[in-house]
Structure 1
Amino acid sequence: MSDAGDWVGDWSARRAALSPDRPALTDATTGESWTYAEMDARANRTARLLREFGVADGERVAVVSRNRPELVDLVFACGKTGGVFAPLSHRLAPPELAELFENVDPELVVVEEPFDGDVADAVPEDADVLSLTTDGDHRWDDFGAHVPDDDSPVETPDLSTDDPFMFLHTGGSTGTPKETVLTHGSVTWNATNTVTAWGLRPGDATPMVFPMFHTGGWNVLTMPLFHVGGHVVVARDFDPGEVLNLVEEYDASVLVAVPAVLRMMTEHDDWPDTDLSTLRFAKSGGGPCRRAVMETYWDRGVDLSQGYGLTECGPNNFAMPDGWDREKADSVGVPAMHVDARIVDGDGERVDQGEVGELELRGPHAAAGYWRAPEETADAFGVPAVDDPTTVDADDYWVSTGDLCRVDADGYHYIEGRKKNMFVSGGENVYPPEVEDALADHPGVSEVVVIGVPDDTWGTVGKAIVQGDDSLTVEDFDSFLDGRLARFKHPHHVAFVDDMPTSGPSKIDRDALRERFGGGTE
């Protein structure tokens, strides 16, 4: 075995040496649990399987599956062989999967049985495919049948922090998602940032509610908790009631979820009677969390605050300081230990404190770039345009987030929405999250999105797309917002939906709403 440079591939072995009997992973769907010693043994067996199929030294294994223990086995097995783990969304249609398979070019495909048909229509004919079975017949050989019995330590390669470890595709709702290249260094430094900035502890436990084809499923909490010796609970599917149940059953101390899930938990019948006393803190990510939802958690003694990240950088970049003031609740906090942040104008120059500009990030936790997308890598990461971004020393480059941000006098950062979502009405900048936050306080509004639509007088005006009381009118909102927001920020149109369309892990799909309602007066 090599004695240095193993990086993420050696995490399971080192944690097994430090905490062999501590619980590492639980499958809530089956009720099975494994210690760190048992997880390292599973990883060793899976590493031997990957080598049998040629997944080593930068070759890829693509996975299409819901959250399962085998995905964790594959992650650490990839680290032990030098292979690259590339989870793909099971929510994609076969043509979209086909494009991703072509780009990733995997040596092995592992697919959970419910998605056999979609993968069969998308995977190259000559690809090796193994099936993660549930019940019934399946199309390909069983993954478990190929895992050898030998769980002794495997020889691990010498790896650099610049070597690729994980491909995670972006959650874009238009076009084929890009594969973001996360290196061993990216994952290690993000875990370090999370442990040091959020104060993760050995023995912390969490239900993992993000899908494991998403950076939230891996790098928000799973990899940081495995780094520090925590306990992750996975399941094929989660609903808000089950999340509440698992918080209580496993004494969860940390919870991170998107705003919609956090809100639905508070609306569930079990909310009042669920014991939340073990939750040391909770984080909202993936979009702005309404203050009313945050207050509901605060009333239960849970320290809920907002986080911020993206697949290309982190995703954990900010933290709330100790004893933070609730008046700062709309912010995402201050930069983490090893994160540089700046706010720039359209020319790339820093803006003054309090002014809105684009947020740019830099640090060793940043991804290397996009796989086989040199122009897109150059645009987003500011690095030279090359097919393999791991060949570029990117330490001096800033990641362009595409998000608008401002910083207050205390260094707290406030996300003002996406650059593409901001609109100018009568010469004034309108930032939809500010309007949405104000409208969300209306008792008849469950959820709201504001988009800009054409207007003959003002150029662009706001349209509020509301999930809630469909008897509400523009005049009702005008009256409600008077004294809260400047008049030019008030929506001129309103439309209603039964449910908000989503993309990614329960994130509202603004592009779908813009396509449907962007004409102005519907």
Structure 2
Amino acid sequence: MSEAEWVGAWSEKRAALSPDRIGLVDAATGREYTYAALDRRANRCARLLADHGVARAADDTGGPAGGRVAVVSRNRPEYVDLFFATGKTGGVLAPLSHRLAPPELAALLAAVDPELVVVEEPFAGLVGDATDEGAWDADAPILSLPVEGSGATTWEAYDAALPADDSVFEGPAVDPGDPHLFLHTGGSTGTPKETVVSHEALVWNSVNTITAWGLRDDDVTPMVFPMFHTGGWNVLTLPIFHMGGTVVIDREFDPGQILGIVEERSASVLVAVPAVLRMMTDHDRWADTDLSSLRFVKSGGGPCRESVMEAWWDRGVDLSQGYGLTECGPNNFAMPDDWPREKAHTVGVANVHVDARVVDDDGGELPAGEIGELQLRSPHAADGYWSSPQESAATFGEWVSTGDLARVDDEGYVSIEGRKKNMFVSGGENVYPAEVEDAIADHPAVADAVVIAVPDDQWGQVGKAVVELAADAGSETAADGAANTDPLALDDLRAFLDGRLARFKHPRHLAFVDELPTSGPDKLDRDAVAAEFGE
């Protein structure tokens, strides 16, 4: 057994416990990897990283980070190799989004300051452009991951650089508080921040997920989150690996493909953002796909509309909402056994090793039913933001300040009311866009909606609803009997909302889009909506 502990020992110990069990499936190639094979691959990768200084130095006295490897790639097996290998060497894995613009990527590369960079070939141009920005001096070696079927690479091929020795890698001892992942935030304002996640935090999030969600060693899941996102690792991949289950990855997933994997691989658990879950219900394969293997489905990354949840419930699938963030978890809540459907709008109750509270602007805890900022406390919280002491102090402490508004009911169920920064005041009354969006989405002509604040001479601010229409939305008749040119008129929408929402919450403006913009792992991009439709 190597000296590396915590995450560094996972692949070795899992290989010893269940060497022939399939841990990873690459849907792009059809290849299956046993846990024994994954550990051998990780040993080779660990030697490569150690040769490049991606390791905890032998004389390290517990500094904030070891050597770092940055990765710009879609989901593929090499990502898993690098995760386990950095665990073995005590290095840090820094996944970077391939969806960033060159200046943003250059700023992150400069912040991470990697000893080695691994780039999937389709993004060689992006990394080259980022290098030209000048923010990053690009003195680290770069290795290429070629696209399947093509051996062409811009830099030395990753496989060619790997040592042949796949025997046990004798790595350094790793402390539980040592960093293992740098995961950047969504970056809705300014350059994304790198969140420092320790070995201990990864283990605790895994334990929280396993114990709260009841994961098993025979669970199979399609991993639809990108691995540059906390969802790609912490939502299900690492807890499933911890248990010895199977994770299915691909370069890109479409709704029909996910349905196919659920049926063909007898997937038992699935977590996805609401947009993906909705697209699955709208897909031609939906009605004919056998979903009986699914023990539960979780929605995360934003509010899931009740119509989407009902579509899954009608198929006999236990769908509920989750909540998390890069800075804490992200798996913080779970639904109790036999939870009632009237609690579907909540994210459930706090997990075993998570404390949650709702506070006012002065940090005082609020009683049940009142809206305030959600704060979390757990051993799975991140340590802070890399090289950002002021922002770290504002978010991290005894409690993690989430920036999200929430309320807790008398039974302990937590409802997320939206981002604190998105709340606006109309005529002296607080308006929470998430509540308004949920009500608008109940309209049969609406697929989804985002509500933003716009200036108003009388009320200061009012809501503007930006609506993506349902695929089958046809022209309707206005309340006065005249034909509408749009399938939904503002007066008709407000009439629909009467009795559902107080009138000060009703939108006073309405706009339509073919498709709402998304960012990160298919989350609604509110900033993009505000930039285009704000006034």
Determine if the TM-score, normalized by the shorter chain, exceeds 0.5.
Answer: yes
For residues 498 and 530 of structure 2, the distance between their equivalents in structure 1, rounded to whole angstroms, comes to 26
Q: 8 Å contact 1:360–1:399 — kept in the other structure?
A: yes
For residues 368 and 197 of structure 1, the distance between their equivalents in structure 2, rounded to whole angstroms, comes to 23
1:127 is displaced (CA, Å) by: 1.5
For residues 358 and 87 of structure 2, the distance between their equivalents in structure 1, rounded to whole angstroms, comes to 35
Q: 8 Å contact 1:6–1:156 — kept in the other structure?
A: no
Q: Which of 478, 484, 498 is the matching residue for 1:482?
A: 498
Matches within 5 A, 1:496-511: 496-511=512-527
Q: Which of 265, 279, 283 is the matching residue for 1:264?
A: 279
1:406 maps to which residue?
407
For residues 275 and 101 of structure 1, the distance between their equivalents in structure 2, rounded to whole angstroms, comes to 44
Q: 8 Å contact 1:55–1:107 — kept in the other structure?
A: yes
The question of 1:380 aligning with 2:395 is answered: yes
Q: Residue 53 of structure 2 aligns to a residue in which SS? A: coil
String of CA shifts for 1:239-277, please: whole Å, max 9, x gaps.
Answer: 000000011111100000000000000000000000100
Q: Which amino acid aligns with 1:326?
A: R
For residues 420 and 125 of structure 1, the distance between their equivalents in structure 2, rounded to whole angstroms, comes to 36
For residues 163 and 244 of structure 2, the distance between their equivalents in structure 1, rounded to whole angstroms, comes to 27
For residues 270 and 311 of structure 1, the distance between their equivalents in structure 2, rounded to whole angstroms, comes to 33
1:9 maps to which residue?
8
1:515 maps to which residue?
531
Gaps of 5+ in 1: 383-396
For residues 454 and 101 of structure 2, the distance between their equivalents in structure 1, rounded to whole angstroms, comes to 30
For residues 212 and 61 of structure 1, the distance between their equivalents in structure 2, rounded to whole angstroms, comes to 14
Matches within 5 A, 1:201-240: 201-240=216-255
Q: Which amino acid aligns with 2:141?
A: D
Q: 8 Å contact 1:25–1:234 — kept in the other structure?
A: yes
Q: Which amino acid aligns with 2:88?
A: K
Q: Residue 351 of structure 1 aligns to a residue in which SS? A: coil
The question of 1:169 aligning with 2:168 is answered: no
Q: Residue 287 of structure 2 aligns to a residue in which SS? A: helix
1:125 is displaced (CA, Å) by: 3.4
Matches within 5 A, 1:47-446: 47-57=46-56, 58-123=66-131, 124-134=137-147, 135-382=150-397, 397-446=398-447
For residues 95 and 430 of structure 1, the distance between their equivalents in structure 2, rounded to whole angstroms, comes to 35
For residues 126 and 433 of structure 1, the distance between their equivalents in structure 2, rounded to whole angstroms, comes to 45
1:161 is displaced (CA, Å) by: 1.2
For residues 506 and 287 of structure 2, the distance between their equivalents in structure 1, rounded to whole angstroms, comes to 36
Q: Residue 271 of structure 1 aligns to a residue in which SS? A: coil
Larger deviation, residues 153-162 vs 22-31: 153-162
Q: Which amino acid aligns with 1:132?
A: L
1:344 is displaced (CA, Å) by: 0.2
Gaps of 5+ in 2: 57-65, 132-136, 474-485
1:174 is displaced (CA, Å) by: 2.4
For residues 128 and 275 of structure 1, the distance between their equivalents in structure 2, rounded to whole angstroms, comes to 47
String of CA shifts for 1:55-99, please: whole Å, max 9, x gaps.
Answer: 101100000000000000000000000000000000111111111
The question of 1:39 aligning with 2:38 is answered: yes
2:478 maps to which residue?
none
String of CA shifts for 1:144-200, please: whole Å, max 9, x gaps.
Answer: 011122111011221111100000000022211000000001100000000000000
Q: Percentage identity across aligned positions?
A: 69
User: Paired residues, what number?
Assistant: 504
String of CA shifts for 1:271-300, please: whole Å, max 9, x gaps.
Answer: 000010000000000000001100110111
Which stretches of structure 1, 4 residues or longer, exceed 3 Å deviation after superposition? none
1:389 maps to which residue?
none
For residues 194 and 281 of structure 2, the distance between their equivalents in structure 1, rounded to whole angstroms, comes to 35
For residues 371 and 417 of structure 2, the distance between their equivalents in structure 1, rounded to whole angstroms, comes to 8
Q: Residue 170 of structure 2 aligns to a residue in which SS? A: coil
Q: 8 Å contact 1:165–1:183 — kept in the other structure?
A: yes
For residues 461 and 348 of structure 1, the distance between their equivalents in structure 2, rounded to whole angstroms, comes to 28
String of CA shifts for 1:85-114, please: whole Å, max 9, x gaps.
Answer: 000000111111111110000000000000
2:450 maps to which residue?
449
Q: Residue 122 of structure 1 aligns to a residue in which SS? A: helix
Q: Residue 90 of structure 1 aligns to a residue in which SS? A: coil
For residues 159 and 189 of structure 2, the distance between their equivalents in structure 1, rounded to whole angstroms, comes to 36
String of CA shifts for 1:401-437, please: whole Å, max 9, x gaps.
Answer: 0000000011000000000111111111111111111
Q: Which amino acid aligns with 1:221?
A: L
Larger deviation, residues 61-70 vs 476-485: 476-485
Q: Residue 367 of structure 2 aligns to a residue in which SS? A: coil
For residues 131 and 173 of structure 1, the distance between their equivalents in structure 2, rounded to whole angstroms, comes to 29
Q: Residue 195 of structure 1 aligns to a residue in which SS? A: helix
1:341 is displaced (CA, Å) by: 0.7
Q: 8 Å contact 1:359–1:403 — kept in the other structure?
A: yes
For residues 92 and 514 of structure 1, the distance between their equivalents in structure 2, rounded to whole angstroms, comes to 19
2:59 maps to which residue?
none
1:136 is displaced (CA, Å) by: 5.0
Q: Which amino acid aligns with 2:290?
A: D
1:2 is displaced (CA, Å) by: 4.8
Per the alignment, do residues 2 and 39 of structure 1 end up closer, same or farther by CA in structure 2, a change over 3 Å counting? closer
Q: Which amino acid aligns with 2:230?
A: T
Larger deviation, residues 168-177 vs 98-107: 168-177
For residues 119 and 2 of structure 2, the distance between their equivalents in structure 1, rounded to whole angstroms, comes to 32
Q: Which amino acid aligns with 1:34?
A: Y
1:516 is displaced (CA, Å) by: 1.5
Q: Which amino acid aligns with 1:114?
A: P
For residues 125 and 430 of structure 1, the distance between their equivalents in structure 2, rounded to whole angstroms, comes to 47
Q: Residue 189 of structure 1 aligns to a residue in which SS? A: helix
For residues 139 and 444 of structure 2, the distance between their equivalents in structure 1, rounded to whole angstroms, comes to 57
1:442 is displaced (CA, Å) by: 0.7
Q: 8 Å contact 2:2–2:168 — kept in the other structure?
A: no
1:139 is displaced (CA, Å) by: 1.0
Q: Residue 331 of structure 1 aligns to a residue in which SS? A: coil
2:508 maps to which residue?
492
For residues 260 and 341 of structure 1, the distance between their equivalents in structure 2, rounded to whole angstroms, comes to 27
For residues 290 and 21 of structure 1, the distance between their equivalents in structure 2, rounded to whole angstroms, comes to 41
For residues 214 and 40 of structure 1, the distance between their equivalents in structure 2, rounded to whole angstroms, comes to 23
